[in-house]
A = this chain, B = another copy of it.
Amino acid sequence: MSKITKQQFNQIIENELPWATDTGMRLQSIESGEAVMTLPYHRRSVRPGGSISGPHMMMLADACMYAVVLSMTGKVKLSVTSSFNINFLRKPSESDLRAEGKIIKMGKRLAVMEVSIFSQEEIVAHATGTYSIPPDRSL
């Protein structure tokens, strides 16, 4: 069972990452070690050509990884990305994006995750990342 609810995560995003909230990004579902987030299509997020930009896909993938971490640790304020790798697979269509994240390994100090991003059921990007988990997890 996730140690954080969908509502709690969306509240964290809203309070602490206002620039992410501005994109319309939302957590849709969360289980222990799994999270689904969406990013609505918006003119403000596009690159030349009309599809959602690479940096917005990276932002979505990173937020989805953060949700996966919190699903397993509960609310940890200063867990931070330590590395991030992404392959862009095809141009998304001009529609919303859906990110599916899952844990690869949850360690005491490091969490490793992967995220697949879909545009209308087709995979458009795949990311892996590591989060560093602070030794003292209490807030």
Contact = CB atoms under 8 A, between A and B. Distances in A.
Interface of A: 16-20, 44-45, 47-49, 53-56, 58-59, 62-63, 77-78, 80-91, 104-105, 107, 112, 114, 116, 123, 126, 128, 130
Nearest to A44: B19
A90 B107 contact: yes
A53 B83 CA distance: 13
Nearest to A56: B19
A65 to B, nearest CB: 10
Contact of A62 (B55, B63, B107): B55
A111 B58 CA distance: 20
28 contacts: A16-B47, A18-B44, A19-B44, A19-B56, A20-B55, A48-B77, A54-B80, A55-B55, A55-B58, A55-B63, A58-B62, A58-B84, A80-B88, A80-B91, A81-B88, A82-B87, A83-B130, A85-B85, A85-B128, A87-B104, A87-B112, A89-B104, A89-B112, A90-B105, A104-B116, A112-B126, A114-B126, A126-B128
